[in-house]
Amino acid sequence: MARYMEQGGRNERRKLLYRVRARKASRIIYSLGLIEYLQTNVKEISEQKGLVFEFGEKGSGDGHLYKPQSVATSYTGDVIVADSKNRLQIFTDGGKYKRKITFDHLDEKFVPSCVSIAKNDYNEELVYASDINNKLILVCNPYGNVVRDIGKDHLHMPGGVVVGDDGCVNIVDVWSNTVRAFGADNELVRKFGGTGDGEGELHQPKHMAVTKGGDLVIADTQNCRVQVFDATGRFLRKFGKKGKREGEFLCPNGIAVDRFGNVIVVDSVLRRVQLFTYWGRYIRRIDSGGDGLRYPEGVAVASSGAVYVADSGCHKIKVFQY
């Protein structure tokens, strides 16, 4: 009993020290989320930077994950995961399960590939989910009430989806190697990209992010690079090339932009998370080789600075700081 109490005391001291360091760094997840995390069955990692914690385990039950494809963070701190078990799941920022969203009204089973969050004109959060089985985007509130669907009869395989500064919903169409933008009335406003490896051309892109300035940042997966377009689809620049060195890619997949404008890119094949400046200069790697990434796909950055990575290979969400 004494040994158990001594061990418990050491654990409590470690937790307290972790929280103190987190506040000093101002880069750790929200305190409430951390407390929730420490109270749940989430694996704790002692480092202040790099891998902080992870949550999820393989399964189909509530709070379990099966090959998570994408992840998004809300303005209120929730984490939304596109799960391959035909659902979206909502967690706190500390990894505690809250609820799930399913869609039973569709012609085919809901198969999400990408998810994002944006606010509407009334400052309400809306969830945008790509459904590759029904070939459309579902837009709902955080409780699953559907507001609209977008892109039906226009999309071959919807991937990344973001809302631009002009209010248009930009959608990556993986199989057609294009990005299509839809207006408020679901009309196709513009299309850009096209198959190839030249500037502005794409080859099986999937994920996409938007900067504060409205630029669209796309993981051009099979071309092993990242491309940046303005809000109208005009090509601006590209960075990265095929390779295994720093700043290079074999399968750039998930992509996100942090509050400083830096670009975070997940490479599924090289199993790493790299950080670049807005202009594409390589900064450093966020993860380390010992973090156990197996096939990371989606990535999102919370307002706290925490980086959430959907690792479909180990059926988990891994959370990093940098």
Q: How is 250-280 classified by DSSP, letter by letter?
A: SSEEEEEE-TTS-EEEEETTTTEEEEE-TT-
pLDDT tens digits, 100-134: 999 999 999 999 999 999 999 999 999 999 999 99
Task: Please count the other Cβ atoms lying within 10 Å of the Cβ belonging to residue 119.
Answer: 12
Calculate the CA dihedral of residues 152, 112, 286, 63 and round it to 10 degrees: 150
- The Cα–Cα gap between 23 and 189 comes to 45
Cβ neighbours of residue 168 closer than 8 Å, sequence gap 6 or more: 181, 182, 183, 189, 190
* Cα gap 265→250, rounded to integer Å: 12
Residue type for 25, please?
A: A
Given 3-state DSSP classes, what are the helix, strand and coil percentages for the chain, each rounded to the nearest 5?
10, 40, 45
Domain segments of the chain as ranges:
2-321
The secondary element (H helix, E strand) that includes residue 299 is strand 296-301
For 2-321, CATH number?
2.120.10.30
Q: Which two tokens stand for residue 21?
A: 């360091």
The pLDDT score that the predictor gives to residue 49 is 84
Name residue, tokens 């920022």. Answer: 93
Q: Give residue 10's pLDDT.
A: 44
What is d(CA 163, CA 303) in angstroms, rounded to the nearest whole number?
Answer: 18
Q: What is the pLDDT of residue 283?
A: 97
Beta partners for residue 321, in sequence order: 50
The C-alpha atoms of residue 258 and residue 303 are separated, in whole angstroms, by: 8
Tell me how far CA of residue 104 lies from CA of 67, 149, 203, in angstroms: 21, 14, 33
Please calculate the CA angle 284-318-56 and round it to the nearest 5 degrees: 170
Tokens standing for residue 14: 């470690």
The list of the chain residues with pLDDT below 70 reads: 1-48
Q: Do 302 and 308 form a contact (C-beta atoms < 8 A)?
A: yes
Interhelix angle for 31-38 vs 2-25, to 10°?
160
Q: What is the Cβ-side half-sphere exposure of residue 118, based on CA atoms within 13 angstroms?
A: 23
Query: What's the pLDDT at 122?
Result: 93
**Which neighbouring-strand residues pair with 50?**
321
Ordered DSSP codes for 56-78: --BSSSTT-BSS--EEEE-TTS-
